[in-house]
Structure 1
Amino acid sequence: MPQDTFTLLSHLYTDSSQQEVFSEEATIDSWLRVEAALAQGQASVGVLSQNDADAITAAATLDNVDPHRLWASAKNVGYPILGIVREISRVLPSGPDGRVHYGATTQDIMDTGLVLQLVASLDLLRNQVEDCGNAIASVVSKHRKTIMPARTHAQHAVPTTLGASLATVLDEFTRHLQRLAETRTRLATVSLSGAGGTSAAYGTKATQVREAVARSLNLSHSVVPWHTSRDRLAEFGHLYAEISATCARLARNIVDLSRTEIGEVYEKFDSHRGASSTMPQKVNPISSEAIIGLSQTVSGLASTMSRIQEAGHERAAGEWQLEWEVLPRIAVLTGSAVVETTDLATGLRVDPERMKANLALDHGLIMAEAHMISLAEPLGRERAHDLVYEASQRARRDNETLTTALLAEARAADLDDSVTSVITGAEGYLGEAATIAAKAIEHWTTVRQSPGVGSDR
């Protein structure tokens, strides 16, 4: 068996639990489980004897599979299931050895085995997303009233709170929990349709066999084959890309907010964490950088998902092989991104004083909209907008505060000084910021605790 190619990103940040789902042993075991379930399902409706099914089940274990022989066969055949069948049959006596894989085709076993792995991955990722969402919810709650500049187009916009800003990320994770449950329902479907999708080799009891196998493996079933209908698998890949992209969105914000000239939020600190080999002062945002790299890789891999849906007629001719490489990597890298994001949120360091100081940057122009809205009632919106616009330009040109510049512009326009007296500070112009944070936490908690959505840990 060839060794996996060494990659630095995966070596440093791979999530071992997701990796185990797609290990060599887990992959072979998924095929063995399906072969055993097929035998038992056929026995339950009289296609096989119970003794034959029990013998096959007992033989379908990892201990009875020689990996070297299996992979040598797979390399020659192009697929591993013929080798799996012979590894099982090799330890069976005459009789049941001829009943292994009865009526099945290679893709039946591989697709159903893959579904078992993808469902395990989805369940694991659901738990990982819950942990991540809980960590973010804790930050949202703690900083629901921590005032900071909101930024649009990378520039100061209006005052907000850190809790309100992170609430949008939390709400994405809430929707991801729902998507994970929905995708799992659609994906957890057994594939037992035979060579051309007609189930002819399964005989007159094909539907009963399919139902029995589905029950045994805790999957659903469908009379309609899906050998070349790969939309469920594409959905899996695209969903994982969405989840990793949410992680990256948070990570990018942390990178920006930890810039020296901003300095509002930082990753956790440990000695030499994020250190430079030449610049002793550096504390680089290494978790955020890793998350962005993981997400970008997942996005690139997921872009191939539409290609797997191009498989024609009743069997793929190359599109299937793409899945073998891409789906496990998407799952492992996404799990890695979510775990790293949980660690990022858990250790987040916040500087409220720096946030407050930053509100005063650019002559306090972050309060421009607040001034305009206050002046809109006595002056009308358009006149108020023009007045504050001129005051903003004056503040920058003459290096004075917006409040001072606005008072001068009001006097120049023959307006009474009392017109500007209604202006309040940043804490008086937060709108629904605190409510946004609270509602995001409430929504997260409700969805996380919903039957069939949250985990049962």
Structure 2
Amino acid sequence: MTVMTRVSLASAEPAIALGALDGRYRSAVSGLVDHLSEAALNRNRIHVEVEWFIHLCQEQVLPGLPVLAQQQCAGLRDIVETFGSEEIAELAAIEAETVHDVKAVEYFIARRLDALSLGNLAPLVHFACTSEDINNLAYAVGIRDAVSSVWEPAARQTLHSLTTLAEDAAATPMLSRTHGQPATPTTLGKEIAVFVHRLNRQLDRIGKQEFLGKINGATGTYAAHLAAAPDVDWPSVAKSFVEHLGLTFNPLTTQIESHDYQAELYADIARFNRILHGLCVDIWSYISIGFFRQIPVAGATGSSTMPHKVNPIRFENAEANLEISNALLDSLGSTLVESRWQRDLTDSSGQRNIGTALGHSVLALNNVTKGLKQLDVAEETIAADLDSNWEVLGEAIQTVMRAEAVAGVDGMENPYERLKELTRGRRVDAEKLKDFVAGLGLSAAAEERLKNLTPSGYTGLAATLAQQYGAA
């Protein structure tokens, strides 16, 4: 697959935008315009048609087909590479007459063949193809490139910022809260590393995604192909062409490529979004209890009336955009896999929203990355919170008592119940816990371990786990 330098489509901004992605947030998502806009779809259609034309000549599927000169191949591909504002307008004018987008692409290409001394081969453009032969490949190329060139780099940038936070706070002791209540201490870095690990798994799945394509005719039977050239191994020609585009060949379809790979991809991206949404909620909550300080941005206003406020708007904005993205991704994933008999047109309208779905995810990623860079760990607040909850050591004490009982130490009966009576529903300070431990009759080694134990020291392997699994 040859990589070309193409005219960027992103500069064609609408004067007044209906949607937020093409208006207020365009700068954050403009990278998707070159892959999933209507203009990009048409450019990818031209790309597929041109490559199919070249492929048919190279394979010599019909008598009398010439072997294209290198200059002619370059000239055909130049139709794609130079596709810009003037060509967009020309194609739109053709479509206004044809009232058919793919037919307009065919005529657009045919107009340019005389200049390449290929005018006699105009019938070869769109040869044996139905519109969906072109559309499914054009969409697959656009979706693949949008994910690999725009969405995935944005996701990795967010993960990089998150990894930095996990590493920096790997050993920062923090009170856990299960069910919102004080629980066994952890470290801040370990809790962030959990998200890094989860998001990395989803990125790995997305990176292995296949992008399928087909070019087998009106109902997937190669009927027109065989009618024109019955001696050609058309499935092999089709397979080599689809793979030439950098896609995975789907050998058995109706008129449409079944879109199952799209549903798989959107489910994985939606799951990534949901995990990221959970992170935003947790970070927002940590900010609200003072575990994070937000670094003020010079000149920025938090509230129009309360000067002291620095609102966590980056994470709130991300939550909203992740929810919108997932609503679209879930809808696409559930509807695209269905088609009435051999073909209906619902997928055509649905797929035009792929860019919007990914755009809201990219916008969320952009906000999370910026938000993470504006956080400062409030270690003194975290430490004070932890130091006021010595009762969380009740778990350690009753577990040590169990071990002592197994070892044959007397007086270790009912360890859980005794710690429950001491700690449940009340705050217990260090002195009271140490007095309790001193009166248990533990072995000298066990008593020494518990006497030296503090909430900040009761984090187990949290720091090690954070460093081991918190790398992007």
TM value normalised by structure 1 = 0.84
Question: Is the counterpart of residue 270 in structure 1 residue 297 in structure 2?
Answer: yes
- Distance, in Å, in 1 between the alignment partners of 2:107 and 2:462 is 64
2:290 partner letter: G
Question: Is the counterpart of residue 109 in structure 1 residue 134 in structure 2?
Answer: yes
- Distance, in Å, in 2 between the alignment partners of 1:199 and 1:254 is 55
Secondary structure in 2 matching 1:156: strand
| Structure 2 match to 1:339 | 366
Are the aligned partners of 2:173 and 2:186 in contact in 1 as well (CA < 8 Å)?
A: yes
Secondary structure in 1 matching 2:309: coil
Deviation at 1:365, TM superposition (A): 2.6
Question: Is the counterpart of residue 224 in structure 1 residue 252 in structure 2?
Answer: yes
Question: Is the counterpart of residue 373 in structure 1 residue 402 in structure 2?
Answer: no
| Structure 2 match to 1:172 | 198
Change (3 A) 1:59 1:294: closer
1:49 to 44, 61, 66: 66
| Structure 2 match to 1:40 | 54
TM value normalised by structure 2 = 0.81
Change (3 A) 1:255 1:26: same
Structure 1 regions of 5+ residues with no counterpart?
445-457
Question: Is the counterpart of residue 5 in structure 1 residue 26 in structure 2?
Answer: no
Change (3 A) 1:415 1:62: closer
> Deviation string for 1:403-453 (max 9, x for gaps)?
527847x89xx85599976241024321110221122146x4xxxxxxxxx
- Distance, in Å, in 2 between the alignment partners of 1:199 and 1:328 is 32
> Deviation string for 1:99-121 (max 9, x for gaps)?
21111111111110111111112
Question: Is the counterpart of residue 23 in structure 1 residue 37 in structure 2?
Answer: yes
The total of aligned residue pairs comes to 430
Change (3 A) 1:369 1:379: same
5 Å matches for 1:286-297? 286-297=313-324
- Distance, in Å, in 2 between the alignment partners of 1:382 and 1:271 is 61
- Distance, in Å, in 1 between the alignment partners of 2:22 and 2:198 is 25
Secondary structure in 1 matching 2:214: coil
- Distance, in Å, in 2 between the alignment partners of 1:394 and 1:246 is 33
2:121 partner letter: P
- Distance, in Å, in 1 between the alignment partners of 2:309 and 2:154 is 31
- Distance, in Å, in 1 between the alignment partners of 2:257 and 2:49 is 21
Are the aligned partners of 2:325 and 2:359 in contact in 1 as well (CA < 8 Å)?
A: no
5 Å matches for 1:12-411? 12=25, 14-47=28-61, 48-51=65-68, 54=73, 57=77, 59=79, 62=83, 66-68=87-89, 70-71=91-92, 74=95, 79-93=100-114, 94-124=119-149, 125-183=151-209, 186-187=210-211, 189-203=212-226, 204-225=232-253, 227-259=256-288, 262-273=289-300, 275-304=302-331, 305-325=333-353, 327-361=354-388, 363-378=389-404, 383-393=414-424, 395-396=426-427, 401=429, 404=432, 407=435
Change (3 A) 1:194 1:382: farther
Secondary structure in 1 matching 2:177: strand
Secondary structure in 2 matching 1:258: helix
Secondary structure in 2 matching 1:349: strand
Deviation at 1:180, TM superposition (A): 1.7
Change (3 A) 1:268 1:37: farther
Secondary structure in 1 matching 2:298: coil
| Structure 2 match to 1:453 | none
- Distance, in Å, in 2 between the alignment partners of 1:372 and 1:77 is 80
After TM superposition, what 4+ stretches of structure 1 lie above 6 angstroms from structure 2?
75-78, 417-421
Deviation at 1:272, TM superposition (A): 4.7
Are the aligned partners of 1:359 and 1:366 in contact in 2 as well (CA < 8 Å)?
A: no
Change (3 A) 1:205 1:234: same
Change (3 A) 1:403 1:388: farther
- Distance, in Å, in 1 between the alignment partners of 2:216 and 2:276 is 39
- Distance, in Å, in 1 between the alignment partners of 2:359 and 2:418 is 55
Secondary structure in 1 matching 2:213: coil
Are the aligned partners of 1:391 and 1:402 in contact in 2 as well (CA < 8 Å)?
A: no
Deviation at 1:91, TM superposition (A): 3.5
Worse overlay, 173-182 or 36-45: 173-182
Secondary structure in 2 matching 1:160: strand
Secondary structure in 1 matching 2:182: strand
Change (3 A) 1:302 1:127: same
- Distance, in Å, in 2 between the alignment partners of 1:41 and 1:8 is 38
1:271 partner letter: A
Secondary structure in 2 matching 1:87: helix
2:168 partner letter: K
Deviation at 1:147, TM superposition (A): 0.6
RMSD: 3.1
Are the aligned partners of 1:34 and 1:113 in contact in 2 as well (CA < 8 Å)?
A: yes
